[in-house]
Amino acid sequence: MSAVTSTGQSLAASGLVFTYPEAGKGRMTAVNIAALEARPGSVTALAGPSGSGKSTLLYLLSGLMRPDAGSIRWNGDDLALLGEARRDGWRRRNAGFVFQNFHLIEEMSPEDNVLVGGWFSSWSVRGLRRRAAELLDRLEVPRERTRVALLSRGEQQRVAIARALLFDPPVIFADEPTASLDAAAGHNVVATLRRLAAEDGKTVICASHDADLLDSCDRVVRIDHGRIAATKVEIAEPVS
């Protein structure tokens, strides 16, 4: 899968270590990654069973968490060296995050849910509303619904993706993006992520154990006990 444009950012992580305290055992290692790379215009999957460290790694790569050691370089920025405020600023400028549980406000409309991330933005309200409407149309979400609660699970996930895309970030992170979706809805989400990379040149990184999603990715990095167990480069066929 080759990108039509290349608006994304390249990732180069190395010597990445993250530990956490566990009662009676001292500090336990959740992530220990020697090297990891992700490129614009591609979809990289972090695969592994529950507890393998893939979601923790995704949070580190996105700057939501800070490693104990190592570097996470996105172009000229090393997130491992930035404090919390500066990492927040980097995410606002560069990253969109699709959470496993969506985190939508059920009583609000799809459009207003997409706009939540722009409440404190300097963008014009009119410009943001136009952008939200365009994204929902592109992702085939029925904008006439007055409440997100009236949407299917698959439609709700596409609202979450639209929200992550509001400011056109070059990097998209997705934590188990097809979890709890039926096969058809999951296929649509996979196709959407593929198009974001292939057509928009974004760097897409997912944490998932969904076999169908893994089969469609350009690169699958398998995580076992916080370490890279294997890396497979896929030749993915187009998803319609």
pLDDT digits (tens, 9 = 90+) for 27-67: 899 999 999 999 999 999 999 988 899 999 999 999 999 99
Query: pLDDT band for position 125 (50/70/90)?
Result: confident
CA distances 107 to 97, 112, 143, Å, are 21, 10, 14
CA distances 139 to 132, 150, 152, 172, 193, Å, are 11, 17, 14, 15, 11
| Total-model pTM | 0.88
Type of residue numbered 63? G
pLDDT for the residue 226: 93
Contacts of residue 109, defined as CB under 8 A and 6 or more positions apart, other chains included, come to 143, 145, 146, 147, 148
Query: pLDDT band for position 238 (50/70/90)?
Result: very low
Among 69-73, 124-128, 160-164, 213-217, the least confident range: 124-128
Q: What is the token pair recorded at 104?
A: 């939508």
Strand partners, 125: none
Question: Does pLDDT of 2 surpass 70?
Answer: no
Question: How many percent of the chain have pLDDT more than 90?
Answer: 63
Question: Does pLDDT of 104 surpass 90?
Answer: yes
Type of residue numbered 126? R
The whole-angstrom separation of Cα 18 and Cα 131 is: 37
Domain ranges of the chain: 11-233
Question: Does pLDDT of 123 surpass 70?
Answer: no
Type of residue numbered 94? N
CATH placement of domain 11-233: 3.40.50.300
